Amino acid sequence: MEILNKIDKLNQVLGSASPEDALEWLSQQPEFNVTFSTSFGQEDQVITDMIFRNDLDINVFTLDTGRLFQETYDVFDLTLKRYKKSIDVFYPKEEKVQELLTTKGPNSFYESVENRKECCSVRKIEPLGRALSPFNIWVTGLRAGQSENRSDMKRFQYDLKFGIIKFNPLLHWSLVDTENYLNEYKVPQNTLHRQGYVSIGCAPCTRAITEGEDIRAGRWWWETSKKECGLHS
């Protein structure tokens, strides 16, 4: 109950604050230990810029699944050079990846939703849990317009899976808002965005979308599902 009251208070205090003001306020509160997970997509690059440009006391980390696009590594490199700040990197456990590939091969995720979620669990969920464990506020780049599953989210909410308060500062931003910010501040961007990749994950699991397709259609494009890996379900 105490944590829910804290979340309600945060939504009241920061519900209408700008993302930049809200991040700065959180970074100044001694009761909060704040971290931000970036996958170097457009929304995440906005938040990274807000944190690094304002020198906020917020940890930044990323998950390297071992199957990312080279273009993702390129924007990672550009971001490090631009801001001269560190980004923590978390990898999946080697033995778990070895076990998965030994028993099911490198492409098992194409065979069923269950297999795909197993791969996501090994490569993303487990390392994410390790990355979040020292913190009590988790900042994400989620927007309500990214998928139907995210349309009823609140700015602050409790993440039951990881036992942490999740903060979605860009929740009510549109894609146009995001792009305008990136252009205004000349923030490094993944070149795949210009090739029709709106949502970018692991290379084998992501394709470009065509005009009129849902923004998440390019993720796990071979299956019909809720298009989530488990990080934000």
Which amino acids are annotated catalytic? 229
Angle, helix 113-120 to helix 94-104, in steps of 10 degrees = 160
Residue 76 has φ and ψ, to the nearest 5°, of: -60, -50
Residue 14 has φ and ψ, to the nearest 5°, of: -115, 10
Report how far residue 166's alpha carbon sits from residue 120's, in angstroms, rounded to the nearest whole number.
Answer: 20
CB atoms within 10 A of CB 84: 7
Q: Which two tokens mark 119? A: 């791969």
Q: Which residues contact 102 (CB under 8 A, 6 or more apart)?
A: none
